[in-house]
Structure 1
Amino acid sequence: MTEIIAGVLEKNNLHGAIFTSFCGGAEMGQAIACDRWIPLVSFTGSSKVGQMVQQIGNEQFGKCLVELSGNNAIIVMDDANIQLSLLHESIYQTVFDQLIGVYKQVKIGDHLEKKILIGGSVIEGESNFVQSTIVEISSDAPVVMEELFAPVLYVMKFKAMNPAYFKRIN
């Protein structure tokens, strides 16, 4: 990824080395966040490591951008324009069927090909890869309460707006 972005930067008259990508866990995040020679840390990953990176950055008056995982609901009421996902039970099946229909049209494969929307699902060797997925799930399923850093859309139905319920899944 670093090589591709460096190429794009250089084609636009910028030095390719202004961007570097690192992959690793908490130790890597801590080492990068503590390095005073790095003027900006942009972190994408778990909330646990992201909070640590942000805290170190704040202590050093550094600049941090963090994109953390989470379960963010799309709430669709029964009077919503469903073209635009907790789903009100009166529109649940229609919206769910449309989501599945749209997803079936998504082309998955080599991300360098023009018509491919999502990178390929075949990864050789060990990996932490989750296929993009739409899942019908009960609102009281324990996994709904867990942080999920994966391309998974939980689809749940509800009868009435209940603030306590929405706080539970966010």
Structure 2
Amino acid sequence: MTEIIAGVLEKNNLHGAIFTSFCGGAEMGQAIACDRWIPLVSFTGSSKVGQMVQQIGNEQFGKCLVELSGNNAIIVMDDANIQLSLLHESIYQTVFDQLIGVYKQVKIGDHLEKKILIGGSVIEGESNFVQSTIVEISSDAPVVMEELFAPVLYVMKFKAMNPAYHLEVIAPL
């Protein structure tokens, strides 16, 4: 990823080294966030770690950009334009069938190929990909309350707006 971004920067007359990407655990993340020589920290990941990075940045009057996880619902009422995912029971099956049709079209692989919608760099040899998945699930399933870094869409039915709103509010940030 760093090589690709450096190439784009250099093609636009910027030095490729102005961007650096690190992958690592909590110790590396904390060291980077606490380093006063790093003027801007951009973090993508869990809400728990993002709050820690932001707090460290605030204490040092540093700059932080955080893109944190979400598990937000899309509430679809029975009078919605379903072309536009708690689903009202009267439109549930129609929307669900359309979602499955769209998911079947998703190609996984080298992200530089024009027909690929989801992917990373080419991995030589054996590799694993998480297939885009739609899951019919109960709102009280423990996994619904957890953050998930995978292309999974949970779909639930509802009858009335108040319970649907409650489900959206209790989902973690």
With normalisation by structure 1, the TM-score equals 0.87
Moved more, 3-12 or 35-44: 35-44
* Displacement after TM superposition at 1:6 (Å): 0.5
The secondary structure found in structure 2 opposite 1:108 is coil
- Kept in 1, the 8 Å contact 2:158–2:164? The answer is no
Task: Please state how far the C-alpha of 1:149 moved relative to its aligned partner.
Answer: 2.5
Taking a change above 3 Å as real, the CA distance of residues 133 and 92 of structure 1, as seen in their structure-2 partners, is same
Deviations along 1:25-71, one digit per CA (max 9) or x if unpaired, are: 22121111111111111101111211111110010111111111121
Identity over aligned residues, as a percent?
100
Contact in 1 for aligned 2:135/2:155 (Cα 8 Å): yes
Judged with a 3 Å threshold, the aligned counterparts in structure 2 of structure 1 residues 121 and 33 are, in CA distance, closer, same or farther, namely closer
Pair 128,43 (structure 1): closer, same or farther in 2 beyond 3 Å: farther
The residue aligned with 1:134 is 134
Q: Could you tell which deviates more after superposition, 32-41 or 155-164?
A: 155-164
SS in 1 for 2:9: helix
List, as ranges, runs of 4+ consecutive aligned residues in structure 1 with deviation greater than 3 Å.
Answer: 120-131
Cα deviation, residue 121, structure 1: 11
Check the 8 A contact 1:108/1:121 in 2, yes or no: no
- Unaligned runs of at least 5 residues, structure 2: 166-173
Deviations, residues 66-123 of structure 1 (Å, cap 9, x unaligned): 1111211111111110001011111111001000101111121111212111116996
Q: Determine helix, strand or coil for the equivalent of 2:161.
A: coil
Paired position in structure 2 for 1:42: 42
> Which moved further from structure 2: 8-17 or 143-152?
143-152
Q: Report the RMSD for the aligned CA atoms in angstroms.
A: 2.4
- The number of aligned residues is 165
Is contact 1:108-1:118 (8 Å) kept? Answer: yes
Structure 1: runs of 5+ lacking an equivalent: 166-170
